[in-house]
């Protein structure tokens, strides 16, 4: 058995408590402090009681916050909880604290006192800073990975221009799941065009993007119709548990006959436009997002769409962040895209892609935006 310790008096418990205790007037004048609080600030209790208001030991930002938030809250609701301050020690160094306070109404004297508990939050602050550093490191890793996915040389031929544009969300520092790719299937004859949107953000989304991008390129080495490639990508997604519910548009453009063959897994439709004709959304070849089952099979099966581009045409692939706005119907965004894209359909395609993204930025993009365009010149 442990030896029994002598019982401590209430005063000893107060003085040596594991947190600082103090009482102040409603205006902040310090009435009483315990030893723990005095030691935390490196000050004597006598100097704190005779010379100091609580506001005087707060860092400048804390003083403003006390006056604009804490004091009014104490007046209105009689208590505050877990208020983060920085207090200034006698030597000028600062210590982070968490403070709780409750107003005690001394009705006999007609005045009130505020009772405070103050906890040293140095270790908590250190832990929070470590978490922030780790999050920053993860964000930079995701950003580097995404940059590697969104860079690289695009196909080019005498009568073909391919361009891309990417814009991150306005109010989100996390890396999103939007990505695109384009590459030759048969040099000088057929290109692949891919745009996808992975569920989630951060390093997990970037990793899923990388896996799906690599899988698409690997599957594309064997001649497949777009629908067949998406079916194979479904199996890959389920087997490796990656990219569930991701949307994706995969298309092939054959230069000789101007044939664009495509399949959409829950993705917004491609847009064809060119001078002197109305823009046209391509609504064929649609099915559900990747990995989504209907019974034991993908709902309705994967289907292709085929479209022969008119002479001097541009095909536009994009992610939903380009057309979606929280305050308007999706049809409004689609109509806006059709109007804007028709004005920027011709070469140079790189300028057109950037112009579309900029012109579609109505009220700021709340999601990442990818645009991939191919312009096929001549008849």
Question: What's the average model confidence in pLDDT over 57-82?
Answer: 92
What pLDDT shows up at residue 8? 75
Q: How far is CA 75 from CA 25, 79, 85, 104, 114, in A?
A: 12, 8, 19, 11, 10
Across 41-80, b (16+ Cβ under 10 Å) vs e yields bebebeebeeebbbbebbeeebbebbeeebbeebeeeeeb
Q: Environment class of residue 233 by beta-carbon count within 10 Å: exposed (0-12), middle (13-18) or buried (19+)?
A: buried
pLDDT in tens, 248-263: 999 999 999 999 999 9
Q: Which fold has domain 144-376?
A: Phosphatase 2c; domain 1 (3.60.40)
Q: Give the mean model confidence (pLDDT) for residues 69-96.
A: 92
What pLDDT shows up at residue 183? Answer: 95
Instruction: Kindly state the percentage of the chain with pLDDT values over 90.
Output: 57
Give the integer Cα–Cα distance in Å for 354 and 344.
9
Q: What is the pLDDT of residue 138?
A: 67
Confidence of residue 201 (pLDDT cuts 50, 70, 90): confident
**How many H-runs (helices) and E-runs (strands) does the chain carry?**
10, 17
Is the pLDDT score of 225 beyond 70?
yes
Report, as an integer, the average pLDDT of 198-220. 87
The domain 15-120 having CATH identifier 3.30.450.20: the answer here is yes
- What is the model's pLDDT at position 297? 46
- Asked which of 131-140, 198-207, 313-322 is least confident by mean pLDDT, the reply is 131-140
Segments making up each domain of the chain, as ranges: 15-120, 144-376
What does the alpha-carbon distance between residue 120 and residue 87 come to, in Å, rounded to a whole number?
10
Q: At 371, list the tokens.
A: 């645009």
Bridge partner list, 267: none
pLDDT at 363: 61
DSSP 317: E
pLDDT of residue 296 exceeding 50: no
Per the prediction, the chain carries an average pLDDT of 86
């Amino acid at each position: 058995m442990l030896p029994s310790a002598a019982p401590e008096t209430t005063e000893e418990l107060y003085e040596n408590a594991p947190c600082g205790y103090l009482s102040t007037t409603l205006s902040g004048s310090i009435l009483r402090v315990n030893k723990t609080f005095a030691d935390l600030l490196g000050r004597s209790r006598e100097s704190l009681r005779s010379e100091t208001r609580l506001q005087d030991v707060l860092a400048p930002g804390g003083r403003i916050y006390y006056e604009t938030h804490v004091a009014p809250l104490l007046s209105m609701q009689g208590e505050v909880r877990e208020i983060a301050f920085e207090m200034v020690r006698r030597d000028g160094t600062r210590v982070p604290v968490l403070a709780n306070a409750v107003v005690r109404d001394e009705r006999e004297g007609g005045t009130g006192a505020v009772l405070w508990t103050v906890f040293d939050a140095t270790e908590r602050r250190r832990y929070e800073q470590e978490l922030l550093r780790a999050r920053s490191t993860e964000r930079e890793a995701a950003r580097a990975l995404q940059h590697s996915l969104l860079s690289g040389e695009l196909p080019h031929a005498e009568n073909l221009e391919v361009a891309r544009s990417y814009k991150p969300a306005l109010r989100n520092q996390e890396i999103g799941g939007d990505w695109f790719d384009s590459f030759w299937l048969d040099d000088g004859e057929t290109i692949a065009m891919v745009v996808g949107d992975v569920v989630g953000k951060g390093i997990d989304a970037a990793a899923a993007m990388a896996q799906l991008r690599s899988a698409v390129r690997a599957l594309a080495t064997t001649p497949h119709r777009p629908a067949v490639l998406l079916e194979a990508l479904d199996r890959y997604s389920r087997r490796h548990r990656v990219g569930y519910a991701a949307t994706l548009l995969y298309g092939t453009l054959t230069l000789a006959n101007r044939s664009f063959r495509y399949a959409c897994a829950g993705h917004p439709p491609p847009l064809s436009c060119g001078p002197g004709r109305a823009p046209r959304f391509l609504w064929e070849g649609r099915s559900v997002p990747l990995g989504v089952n209907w019974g034991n099979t993908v709902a309705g099966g994967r289907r292709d769409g085929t479209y022969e581009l008119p002479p001097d045409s541009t095909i536009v692939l994009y992610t939903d962040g380009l057309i979606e706005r929280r305050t308007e119907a999706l049809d409004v965004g689609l109509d806006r895209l059709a109007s804007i894209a028709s004005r920027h359909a011709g070469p140079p395609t790189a300028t057109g892609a950037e112009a579309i993204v900029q012109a579609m930025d109505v009220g700021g993009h709340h999601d990442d935006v990818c645009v991939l365009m191919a312009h096929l010149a001549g008849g």
